[in-house]
Amino acid sequence: MDLFLWIKALHVISIIAWMAGMLYLPRLFVYHAATEIGSEQSETFKIMERRLLKAIINPAMIASWGLACGSPGNFRPGRTGGSTPSSRLS
């Protein structure tokens, strides 16, 4: 049971990081669109967008999916269905 709670906590943390990155990325796009093409500031925004995607959003997304699919709660004995609300009640 302790392992399940740790996996659940890491899953929630990774979802929060994923969503925070997804909400910040459009703001970077808006700032980037307001700069001149080819300027130093434009290049800085390109780097920031790429780093946000590669260092925060993508790893958090992979962790979220991996922790959700590999969760011990998905492999309980006697579980016969998917993740619909009616299958969770039985």
What is the span of the domain harbouring residue 42? Answer: 10-70
Residue 3 banded pLDDT, cuts 50, 70, 90: confident
Cα(71)–Cα(29) distance, rounded to whole angstroms?
Answer: 35
- For 27-59, write each residue's pLDDT tens digit: 999 999 999 999 999 999 999 999 999 999 999
Structural domain contains residue 42: yes
pTM for this model (two decimals):
0.74
Structural domain contains residue 84: no
Structural domain contains residue 75: no
Structural domain contains residue 76: no
Structural domain contains residue 78: no
Structural domain contains residue 25: yes
Structural domain contains residue 80: no
Structural domain contains residue 82: no
The domain total for the chain is 1
Cα(6)–Cα(80) distance, rounded to whole angstroms?
Answer: 24
